[in-house]
Structure 1
């Protein structure tokens, strides 16, 4: 266990620095990497990949390549110094939220469940980049022979991205077509590649993809970051603040991630000569926070892409005052409900003394409860309550 904790402590010191500029993106070496934002993506990818193989949606060759590509990206994110896109200003770079604090140890713990299993993975032979490149080339040939395999185009796009072949990655994403149309994470990934390939210009395709991703999932972290960066690049500092303030609510108050994002918000406020955030809106006394957990014997009934909804309502009122959405792959889920997640500007959690709190896990993400949804017992809590524990332990008949 000791090496595990040493590795975890060391790797959390790597900060991901990546800000956009409307005219100039420079490549330079940095100790920063992009692990924290990619952590959730990797975890989701692995779960979906295993599910696809079990259901016969992909063959063994495609599975092996995708698994190798995930491991390759994971390896690169933890042992290499990446080249990242940064502003020419060191100060801006230092305050960029980029892609959040890297927690490789936590990522692997989420994947495998224990430090002992992490050690087992560490002892597996590491594929060389040359091996991965050969497999990517083989998949490329295979995709040209079977262009209707849209899932394969996504795997190829992400493989190209991991190898730094951004132009090829964008082309592969484009050929994935309808497969990504309803997946906010894939849309955000596509937007990221398209903006990168356009030297930081979000006009046109990147912006449209970001907008579509946020329409599907207003809380998608990558999409929120890119939306703020796009606004910042156009000197729309007010817009950048709005997107990043929404993003910061996805993290526990006073966490390292939240502090980095808040620094970027402060930079945008300074650039736009905007007033500071209202104390009431940011005060933890005007929010409800805690953690959502899923009962152990129900975990087999939930897939990674199911939607988790944390809902706060005024007592006796059906209309929510705040809703936070996330994917089931993020469970156990830290949540913060405040005015930034309000359904309407006239019904704010900060105006209430107490709220009813409930959590629902849905296969479809529909607002109305459906048979088969998993849910928690509704509880009434004081506004300002912290460290709440909400257990999803029931199934709607």
Structure 2
């Protein structure tokens, strides 16, 4: 912040110089005018003295003319280089008054319309906080300075939850949803904050939020975990197990929360068995799709392509997003070749082969190395994504 005020002060001095320089110049001009008037008075006094000496007979006419010329030369020498006086209508008071009012007015406008608070926040966030309380205070100031920042609101809500302040977090998440839209993750966080703010009492509003979140994203982790907790608290142990198993499937293998989640599933299982119930078998896990494709080039095209041309082999859904579900890249020199396309080759986690029942295989040659446009192409007929038999694909048509 000190750097900012130093820079502002330097700019202020530069601005004031444009106002004060005319005042200093006018004072200099006044001094020059005073010196010129003095020289003229001395010249007139010298001429009068010469006239007196001529009248007394001390000087003749020739000497008188010589003395007058000498006095005139001295006057010219003294006044040479003096600029003509400038005419100004401002006077001295107006520039001085402006020099005082401009910085005062500028400072007032900046304090009213400026962003000194945001400059200070930027400086603070560049340094690591010393405590959670300090981090919370920074986020609160950031929200006050930028009330329309959904990101700042979201992080403040998460911070309130870690500090066991769910009621405040619920209000913050509601504001975040109003700004950023009804995104599944935000709805889940809002529902969770409402649940703990109301002393773990389920409500129609919480149910509606979790239903909306899971409808938009069946894998939304906060809603799955919350529904599992609510089911466990109300002794609906089988539902708790089901929700937590769904959540467990979404967590990475190295996620530390898996241990606690697995412990919750174990406790729910024990209570279900102790109450005389029986744990329902989990539905069969979906097998990851894996397609084997042999790609070759039509004989009449071999003379028209170059060994270094790119070959893109991909599978796309016959009914769904146009983006490829799995992609492999080779060159013409590699053909013929056999490749495998599976869930591991997905360009995006939500776009896997196993998520779509029917796909089409495509192989494209692109001299420019662009997967979306090329010179030659080969397409298969639609086939189930669960197909295990090897497939043959020939590149034989112009890419239009």
TM-score by length of 1: 0.38
**The structure with more helix, counted as a fraction of residues:** 2
Higher relative contact order (CA 8 A, sep 6+): 1
TM-score by length of 2: 0.38
